[in-house]
Amino acid sequence: MNIKYRFGYTLLIMIFVAFAVIGIAYYMVDKTAKRDVQFNLTELLNNRVASIKTLYIHNHVEDTITDLLKITNQNYKGIGKTNEFTIFKQVKDSIYFLIDQRNLEYKRLTPKSINNYKPQAVKRALAGQSGFIQDIDYRNKAVYSAYTYIPELKWGISCEIDVEEINQSLLHDFTIIFILSIVIAIIAALAYNYVSKNMIIDLDKSENKYRNLIENINDVIYEIDNTGIITYISPNIEKLLEYKHEEIIGKEYNQFVGGNADFLAQRLLEIRETQELKNDYKVPTKSGEIKWLHFSTKAIIKDGIFKGGSGTLIDITEKKQSEIALQQSEAQYKSIINASPDVITITDLEGKVLLVSPKALDMFGYDSSDDFKNRSLLEFIDVSDHERAANNLKKMFGGELWGAEDYKGVKKNGSTIDINVNGDFIKDENGQPINMVFVTRDITEKKIAEERVNNVQRIKSVISEINKTIVTEKDKDKLLKEVCDIIIDTGKFEMA
């Protein structure tokens, strides 16, 4: 479009927007101004009523009160040039005005017939009502009026200001808003024209950059229609599947996805409802090599009608191969743990249990491996060994691999067993500890057997020593004493 025409259209749009803003602004200003007028007049009215009631409390003489109000009224500045109070009372069918009027150069109104008097605020106040209305006053001018009734004096009072004065203030504000809006509209149009002119130039540059980006990123971008025809695919598909993009565009996608054709056809139907699909597939290259690709597709919807889909292809072959290798490694790892005759425990660096081998259930008398999870290792070691176990953990973190240690283990039922525990760190690829692994063996029977062997050895030693003593000692009393000493010292037996 010609720059002059574009600027003209833009200016018209901006001016239209400016008028819309002006209209809304005027409405908001008018509404706010009327609310402010109501609040201010009501506040002034309540303050004047409070003053009158205070005067009435100290002086019940009506003339004295009106004289004081006359002085107050002459000094009243108001919230505008036309703001004034009117105080009145009803005597039979007539309205009597008790103070001079500011808008009559401080002259007092003559009594009026209540039936013929037009201002509604006066009539409502004398009827005992309070409120705020747009009314006419004694000059037949439109006014905003707040009014109320003072029962102690049987007076009515109103506080008014001319509507014209308020509107003049609004007109002044509106004129400023109008001028500013037009100026802003012109500036905005000039700015838009300048920016859009540069944007057209930048758009061409951006399009070239975008094309280069699409053609050089590793991800493949594609688009298909609602029948499965490939309408676009980025040129770097050749790096991925060895096909040139010209060989693919215009053909059905199922020619290039191997054994996934039927499944992807079903997914193409599903995307109409789900709007987006993601999945991983094994896809053959042109030469027959199998690659893992991550498909991410979003539905293209125009006017509520499904037109097809667009998305990306990402080569995740190495990632998938690593995952498969890891799964196989984990399977072997679990087999080793499950087959181990000892209890294998993996904890975090705080000693909280993450995993135990099935052997732990038999050794400690629990029903499920979940009974161990997130519990401290120390909960399964007797309290008497806690300090030693904690010190040994510190040695591990200090780089002192202390080897296997014997402890008293605590079973679920509270009984103890003798256990031998050996621990080490599980480290990441940088050699940093990430978890701890402990191998625990039940050595209760071994300990009992060792104790029996020790007892036999002690008895043999006692018998040997006694035999030597019998040969050398002839005194019976001394012999008996030495035999007792041998039993206690060598045999570690207690005498009754």
Q: Which CATH class is domain 3-169?
A: alpha beta
Between 264 and 137, the higher pLDDT residue = 137
pLDDT at 333 over 60: yes
pLDDT value at position 46? 92
For 341-442, the fitting CATH number among 3.40.50.20, 2.40.240.10, 3.90.550.10, 3.30.450.20 is 3.30.450.20
Q: Closest Cα partner for 185 from 425, 345, 16?
A: 16
Q: List the structure tokens of 426.
A: 């599980």
Please give the single-letter amino acid code of residue 154. K
pLDDT at 482 over 90: no
pLDDT value at position 299? 86
pLDDT value at position 341? 83
pLDDT value at position 461? 76
Between 95 and 1, the higher pLDDT residue = 95
- Strands across the sheet containing 142-150: 112-113, 94-97, 84-91, 155-162, 142-150, 131-136
Question: What is the percent of the chain where pLDDT is above 70?
Answer: 83
pLDDT value at position 29? 63
Question: Could you tell me if 63 and 153 are in contact, meaning their C-beta atoms sit under 8 angstroms apart?
Answer: no
pLDDT tens for 85-110 read 999 999 999 999 988 888 888 888 89
Phi, psi of 233 (to 5 degrees): -155, 135
Q: List the structure tokens of 139.
A: 């000059």
Between 323 and 153, the higher pLDDT residue = 153
Backbone dihedral region of 129: left (phi > 0), alpha (psi from -120 to 50 degrees) or beta?
beta
pLDDT tens for 139-196 read 999 999 999 999 988 999 999 999 998 888 777 767 777 777 777 767 766 766 666 6
pLDDT at 471 over 80: no
pLDDT value at position 145? 94
Q: Establish whether domains 3-169 and 341-442 are of one fold.
A: yes
Q: Closest Cα partner for 435 from 333, 318, 338, 360?
A: 333
pLDDT tens for 373-412 read 999 999 999 999 999 999 988 888 888 766 788 999 999 9
For 219-321, the fitting CATH number among 3.50.50.60, 3.40.1190.20, 3.30.450.20, 3.40.50.300 is 3.30.450.20
pLDDT tens for 198-224 read 665 665 565 555 555 555 566 888 888
pLDDT value at position 128? 93
> Once rounded to an integer, what is the mean pLDDT over residues 291-315?
86
Q: Closest Cα partner for 290 from 325, 317, 323, 261?
A: 317
Per-position b or e across 303-330, b if 16+ CB within 10 A of its CB: eeebebbbbbbbbbeeebeeeeeeeeee
Hey, where are the domains in the chain?
A: 3-169, 219-321, 341-442, 448-489
Between 494 and 190, the higher pLDDT residue = 190
Q: Within 13 Å, how many C-alpha atoms sit on residue 43's CB side? A: 8
pLDDT value at position 122? 93
pLDDT at 326 over 80: no
Question: What is the percent of the chain where pLDDT is above 90?
Answer: 25
As to burial, measured by CB atoms within 10 angstroms (0-12 exposed, 13-18 middle, 19+ buried), residue 335 is exposed
pLDDT tens for 348-364 read 999 999 989 889 999 99
pLDDT at 372 over 90: yes
pLDDT band at 481 (very low <50, low <70, confident <90, very high): confident
Q: Within 13 Å, how many C-alpha atoms sit on residue 103's CB side? A: 18
pLDDT band at 228 (very low <50, low <70, confident <90, very high): confident
Between 280 and 17, the higher pLDDT residue = 280
Q: What is the mean pLDDT of the chain?
A: 82
